[in-house]
Amino acid sequence: MDGSWGIGHTRWATHGGVTKANAHPHCSCDGKIAVVHNGIIENHHAIRAMLEKMGCPFLSETDTEVIPHLISYYYKEDLVEALKAAVVNLQGTYGIACIHADEPGRIVGARNGSPLVVGVGAGEMFLASDITAMVAYTDKVVYLNDGEIVDIQENHYSIIDREERTVDKKVAQITWELGSIEKGDYPCYMEKEIFEQPESIARALSGRLDVENATAKLGGLNLGRGRLSDVGRVKIIAAGTSWHAGLVGSLLLEQFARIPAQAELASEIRYRNPVVEKDSLWFTVSQSGETADSLYAMREIQRKGATVLGICNVVGSTIARESDGGIYVHSGPEIAVASTKAFTSQLAAFYLFTLFIARMRHLSREEGLSFLASLQEVPAKVAQTLGQRDHVQEIAKKYHKAKDFLFLGRGNLYPIALEGALKLKEISYIHAEGCSAGEMKHGPIALVSPEVPSLFLVSDDFLREKTISNMREIKARGGPIIAVGVEGDKEVAVLADDFIPVPKGDPRFYPFTMVIPLQLFAYFCALELGRDVDQPRNLAKSVTVE
């Protein structure tokens, strides 16, 4: 399209179906004001009723459509003034961008609960809900806070807060490189991101390994030594894949730092009025740093007086800014909806933190050194595991027509089973259940049949024998088995119908390598089924609505 200013939006349906009429932008009756909106206007029914009474025709089923009509109601030759008056009436969450036909070259935005970032270019300006959208055009950004309104013109922007005071903000520098948001020679972002993991994990570890003192260096925790020694309990809140990383983290902290730890679903804890003990330390894990469930849960926990650290990928995201400190995972932009490289970098953050806090307690220098040595080996072991690409593709060709799958693991591989099942579901649309292998006999085993394959994760630690028994139980019932196990494990290789080896190493670190074949398996099944791997149906990369 021709033109020098405009707005657009990929709608994630909350009110009304996925139809052309419901697609953004929505306009005022005279067609002069156009609005795109991310979030939910909770009182839209009341506003709509009032506007309809005034003769305003509505063309969509969306909550958003009330916004341009409301702005139009207040409009007297100045879009900022009209938007300011309109948002006072809105209850709910919004990141809004709006334009007026009579004010060419001007975009006005407002934020409340949904992210909004200004991009500062040379002779051009941007407004988006995520820096990934504009990293190709500028590396200078300004983050808006709730209640702020921004007025953007070709060479200039200004921001005011709820009290109409001008806000002078620091321009932040994005360090992501343009190449990191391009596909390069890969057909999809997901494949590219899977193969980037040796480097992205190395980046998460870079500068943070203190070999001399056999510990980790974590500069952003903002917690004194005394406060860290007093931590009696760790609680982790997150959603989806980030929750799975939190589950691995909680097991690590319990096992190696001997600190009681628990990972909770953000969407659940937020409404549970959780007990917040004085000696507890909380983490919010989020790739995007914008997930509404995780953000609101974090705010609720902070309100109760707790310290919450963030484990985020996107620098400057809302969770990163509002948390009391934290660890950036530095995986670089993750574009595919299915999270892969951010997951392994989140794991790296938990391994670093576990080492750090365990060394402040009982963990000896020798034990710390052995932990560090294994951690340093991870990028190479992940690279080696990626060598299974073609083998996993063959296996995916064999199994992709299955309608249901079981993913089974024990100990630190149980969260990896959950992650494998989530990956398969979200991009191939094959139904998959992740289970603890020990729990299988309490119900899920009823699903086993020649049509329902099971994918086992088999370590070579003390749980190996137990997992092998579970494999035999499936075999006895005619269920096909794919096993991801340790190279050279002949017994597992023979028992399984298909075997994917990962390099032998320290079993505490198998979550890093064992998740790789599961990511590849989901990816190749989705390709076989002709799915849109990077943008699976019904899903959004960052879920900024509740």
Task: Using DSSP, state whether 237 is helix, strand or coil.
Answer: strand
User: Min. distance of Cβ 453 from ligand M6R in angstroms?
Assistant: 21
Is residue 516 near ligand M6R by the rule CB under 6 A?
A: no
Quote the CA–CA distance of 178 and 122 in Å, as a whole number: 17
For the chain, the straight-line distance linking the first and the last C-alpha, in angstroms and rounded, comes to 34
Is residue 200 near ligand M6R by the rule CB under 6 A?
A: no
In this structure, the number of other CB atoms found within 10 A of the CB of residue 291 comes to 28
On the CB side of 264, CA atoms within 13 Å amount to 24
Quote the CA–CA distance of 542 and 474 in Å, as a whole number: 37
User: x/- contact string, 423-452, with ligand M6R (CB under 6 A)?
Assistant: ---x--------------------------
Tokens (6 digits) for 481:
């088995």
Count of residues near ligand M6R by CB under 6 A:
17
Is residue 544 near ligand M6R by the rule CB under 6 A?
A: no
Is residue 288 near ligand M6R by the rule CB under 6 A?
A: yes
Q: Exactly one of 66, 236, 337, 435 binds ligand M6R (CB under 6 A); which one?
A: 337
Residue nearest to ligand M6R (CB): 240
Q: Specify the amino acid at residue 482.
A: I
Contact 87, 110 (CB under 8 A): yes
User: Min. distance of Cβ 191 from ligand M6R in angstroms?
Assistant: 15
- The packing angle between helices 240-256 and 341-359, to 10°, is 20
Quote the CA–CA distance of 196 and 224 in Å, as a whole number: 35
| Alpha-carbon separation of residue 388 from 141, 318, 459, 508 (angstroms) | 40, 38, 17, 21
User: Min. distance of Cβ 425 from ligand M6R in angstroms?
Assistant: 9
Is residue 294 near ligand M6R by the rule CB under 6 A?
A: yes
Buried b (16+ CB within 10 A) or exposed e, 166-175: ebeeeebebe
Is residue 543 near ligand M6R by the rule CB under 6 A?
A: yes
Q: Specify the amino acid at residue 60.
A: S
Contact 71, 82 (CB under 8 A): yes
| Alpha-carbon separation of residue 205 from 23, 313, 329 (angstroms) | 43, 14, 9
Is residue 237 near ligand M6R by the rule CB under 6 A?
A: no
- The packing angle between helices 365-386 and 341-359, to 10°, is 170
Is residue 318 near ligand M6R by the rule CB under 6 A?
A: no
Tokens (6 digits) for 172:
């932040």
Is residue 291 near ligand M6R by the rule CB under 6 A?
A: yes
Is residue 286 near ligand M6R by the rule CB under 6 A?
A: yes
Beta bridge partners of 34: 27, 99
Q: Toward ligand M6R, which CB reaches closer, 239 or 251?
A: 239
User: Min. distance of Cβ 159 from ligand M6R in angstroms?
Assistant: 26
Stretch that binds ligand M6R, among 18-26, 56-64, 228-236, 538-546 (CB under 6 A): 538-546
Q: Specify the amino acid at residue 289.
A: G
| Alpha-carbon separation of residue 534 from 133, 189, 422, 435 (angstroms) | 15, 6, 15, 26
Stretch that binds ligand M6R, among 190-198, 282-290, 379-387, 516-524 (CB under 6 A): 282-290
Return the biggest CA–CA distance within the chain. Answer: 78
Stretch that binds ligand M6R, among 185-193, 214-222, 336-344, 365-373 (CB under 6 A): 336-344
Q: Toward ligand M6R, which CB reaches closer, 12 or 186?
A: 12
Is residue 240 near ligand M6R by the rule CB under 6 A?
A: yes
Q: Toward ligand M6R, which CB reaches closer, 108 or 116?
A: 116
User: Min. distance of Cβ 297 from ligand M6R in angstroms?
Assistant: 11
Q: Toward ligand M6R, which CB reaches closer, 56 or 338?
A: 338
User: Min. distance of Cβ 239 from ligand M6R in angstroms?
Assistant: 4
User: Min. distance of Cβ 293 from ligand M6R in angstroms?
Assistant: 8
Contact 263, 238 (CB under 8 A): yes
Beta bridge partners of 285: 238, 311
On the CB side of 291, CA atoms within 13 Å amount to 27
Task: Using DSSP, state whether 400 is helix, strand or coil.
Answer: coil
Q: Exactly one of 180, 339, 354, 519 binds ligand M6R (CB under 6 A); which one?
A: 339
Is residue 542 near ligand M6R by the rule CB under 6 A?
A: yes
Is residue 241 near ligand M6R by the rule CB under 6 A?
A: yes
Stretch that binds ligand M6R, among 360-368, 370-378, 524-532, 535-543 (CB under 6 A): 535-543
Q: Exactly one of 118, 239, 263, 375 binds ligand M6R (CB under 6 A); which one?
A: 239
Is residue 197 near ligand M6R by the rule CB under 6 A?
A: no
* Nearest residue to 98 (alpha-carbon basis) of 87, 83, 114: 83
User: Min. distance of Cβ 242 from ligand M6R in angstroms?
Assistant: 4
Quote the CA–CA distance of 344 and 515 in Å, as a whole number: 8
User: x/- contact string, 408-427, with ligand M6R (CB under 6 A)?
Assistant: --------------x---x-
Is residue 320 near ligand M6R by the rule CB under 6 A?
A: no
Stretch that binds ligand M6R, among 46-54, 60-68, 71-79, 331-339 (CB under 6 A): 331-339
Q: Toward ligand M6R, which CB reaches closer, 240 or 511?
A: 240
Beta bridge partners of 107: 152
Contacts with ligand M6R, residue ranges (CB under 6 A): 239-242, 286-288, 291, 294, 337-339, 422, 426, 539, 542-543
